[in-house]
Amino acid sequence: MEIKESLEMYFSLVEDTRNQSYITYKLSDILFFLVCGMLCGCKELQEIVELGEERIDFFSKHSSLKQIPCLMTLINILSIVKPERLELCLHGIIRNVFNSNTKQKQICIDGKTISSRIPEDYMDSVHVVTAMLADNYLSTGQKVIDNKKGEIKAVRELIDEINIKGTVVTMDAMHCQKETVAKIIKNKGDYAVQLKANQGNFYEDVYTMFDDNYMDTADKDCEYETFTTIEKGHGRIEKRTCYVLNEIEFFTDYLDNGKALRRYLQ
């Protein structure tokens, strides 16, 4: 099935409550038009209208639009669309159309608090957890939660909802949790999760594995790979070196037998 046909199938899930005898624009064409505008970086409806007027040839070729709807037409049509149905529609498109047609390798999951610079303008800040396709900066799923305390649960729900098969999911240290990474594995994905001191003994043991005494001592057969990048940005030279250990039997022995790795090196 081509992308155009797939989009029409999903758009048909959104109920059109208008009197079909007096319509000028098909709802599926309007939704296609709006999605294209958002993917092009338009943040306002007027910007989408202007984009359509500039690219009328494209829209007349890929839809039944012969002319671009005006701003008020878009507002009126959107006012009769049920948000929850549109959300399900867009979620399905991102998960099964765009994601299945790209060789996506990384999905970044992170939570951000959205608040006003003027605290009294809002009673509470909004906390949003987003799963983003790293290569094209496209959101593949979101969860709005009351506060940061609910982020772990929201991330686990996102992992179950979005398509992570064959991808690498990256998350910060808050989500270095057994249950979270188990969900990733269950959904046939891989993960790269930050590890900080919030995981006490685990952090100390992994830190010890990357200690020079472990990596460079001659009587230990330790194989590792390195990859270095050098970039200029933010007014400075940034050098990043990644070390990947291949021989971690001491660490796995620790997991199996409860023997701390750092004790082995003392």
Taking the C-alpha atoms of residue 95 and residue 83, their distance in angstroms, rounded to an integer, is: 18
pTM of this prediction?
0.62
Q: What is the reported pLDDT for 144?
A: 83
- What pLDDT digit, counting tens, does each position of 15-43 carry? 888 888 888 888 888 888 988 888 788 88
Taking the C-alpha atoms of residue 130 and residue 140, their distance in angstroms, rounded to an integer, is: 8
Angle between helices 27-39 and 71-78 (to 10 degrees): 110
Q: Which two tokens stand for residue 223?
A: 């194989």
Stretch among 73-82, 132-141, 214-223 having the lowest mean pLDDT: 214-223
Amino acid letter, 219: D
| Annotated domain spans of the chain | 3-99, 104-193, 200-265
As beta bridge partners, residue 192 has 170
Average model confidence (pLDDT) across the chain: 79
Taking the C-alpha atoms of residue 2 and residue 104, their distance in angstroms, rounded to an integer, is: 18
Q: Phi and psi (nearest 5°) for 99?
A: -65, -35
Taking the C-alpha atoms of residue 86 and residue 17, their distance in angstroms, rounded to an integer, is: 14
- What pLDDT digit, counting tens, does each position of 65-77 carry? 889 999 999 998 8
- What pLDDT digit, counting tens, does each position of 136-174 carry? 777 778 888 877 778 999 999 999 988 888 889 999 999
Fold of domain 104-193? Nucleotidyltransferase; domain 5 (3.30.420)
Q: Is pLDDT above 50 for 266?
A: no
Taking the C-alpha atoms of residue 170 and residue 106, their distance in angstroms, rounded to an integer, is: 7
